[in-house]
Amino acid sequence: MAGNGTAMAPLPRRTGFAGFEDRIFELMDQRGYRYAVLGVLLAAVLALPRFSSNYVLEIFTNSFLYVVLCLGLNIVAGYAGLLDLGYAAFFAIGAYTSGVLTSQFGWNFWLAIPPALALAGAVGVMIGAPTLRLRSDYLAIVTLGAGEIIRILARNLKSITGGPSGLIGIKRPAFFGLELNQISHYYYIFLVMVILALVVSYRLEHSRLGRAWKYVRDDEDVAEAMGIPKSLIKLSAYTMGAMFAGLGGCFFAAKMTAISPDSFTFLQSLMIVVAMVLGGMGKIAGMVVGALVMVLFPEVFRTIGPLRMLVFGIILILMMVFRPQGIWPERRH
C-alpha cells in the first residue's frame, strides 16, 4: 500500500476580486450552470441579426474573424509560448490563395479552403523548421522578418497577387445555391467558422498534443527529458496557428471581395498580439474577450489614429507588469 503522509489541506478561500473570480469558476465548474450559460450565449448570438442594424452585425462579424485569428495565435503563443510577430503573413496567404483560386481560376469558395490551409501550413513548416530549433528569443525577430518578406512578395508579385493595389473582384461565395451578399449571411457563415475554430481549439488544448505544447512552453528542456520531441512539437503549434490564420484569411477575402497587402502589415500582427495579451493568453475565453475588445474599440483607436501603436506598446507593458493573466481570470487549482 502506498505510503500516505499529508492529508490534503484545502486551499484558503481568497477574498476580494480574486475571490470573486474563484467563486465564478466554482459556479462554472458545475455542468448545469456551464451549459445554461453557453446556451444563453448561443441563443443570443443566433438571434442577434433579428434585432440589430447592419452596423452592429458588421462589427460582430469582424470580431468573429478576430476571434479565429486570436485562437490561432493563442496556439502558437498561448499554448506553446512562441512569440510570433509575423502572424499576419499566414492570414495573407489564406486570403490570397483563396482569392486567386476563386477569382482567377473560378474555383468554388469552399473548395478553395483546403489548398489555402495547406499552403499556409506549408509556409509555416518552411519558416518554422529551421528557426524553431533555436532558442525562442530568435523566433520573434525572425518571424517579424518573415512576415515582412511575405508582405513584400505580395506587393511585388504583381502577376499573381495584383501588386500593391491587390486583388479585386473576388467572387462572393455561394452556400447551396444562395449567394451570400448580405451582412447577415456573412454573420452566420462567420459564426459557423468561429464555432468550428472554438471547438477545434478546445479539443486541441485538452489533448496529448495540447498538453505537449504546454510542457514545452513551461520548460522545454524538462519536456525533452520526458520524451517529448520539443522542436517537432513547437513546429506543430506554429503550423496549426498558421492554418487558423489561413482559414480566417479565406473568409476575410470572401467578405471583402478585395484584398491588398495593406491589410497584412506588422500592425495587423501586432493587433492580434495585443488582443491576445489583453484577453488572456492561453485561454480560449480570453481570446473571445480580447478579440471583442479590439474590434469594439476602433472608435477609440480612430481618434488617436497614428498614436495607435504607441498605445498598444503601453498596453502591452502595463498588462504584463500588472495583469499578465489578461482580462479573463486565471483558474486557480
Return the number of the residue (41 or 314) whose C-beta is nearest another protein: 314
Alpha-carbon dihedral sign for residues 185, 191, 196, 197: positive
Residues 6+ apart with CB under 8 A from 216: 80, 81, 223, 228, 230, 233, 234
- Minimum CB–partner distance for residue 158 and another protein (Å): 17
Cα separation values, 204 from 70, 178, 201, 209, 276, Å: 15, 33, 5, 7, 18
Return the number of the residue (53 or 207) whose C-beta is nearest another protein: 207
Which residue type, as a one-letter code, is found at position 138?
Y
Contact 124, 239 (CB under 8 A): yes
- Minimum CB–partner distance for residue 125 and another protein (Å): 13
- Minimum CB–partner distance for residue 316 and another protein (Å): 3
- Minimum CB–partner distance for residue 189 and another protein (Å): 20
Please tell me the distance from the alpha carbon of residue 300 to that of residue 274, in angstroms, as a whole number.
Answer: 15
Please tell me the distance from the alpha carbon of residue 132 to that of residue 128, in angstroms, as a whole number.
Answer: 5
- Minimum CB–partner distance for residue 116 and another protein (Å): 18
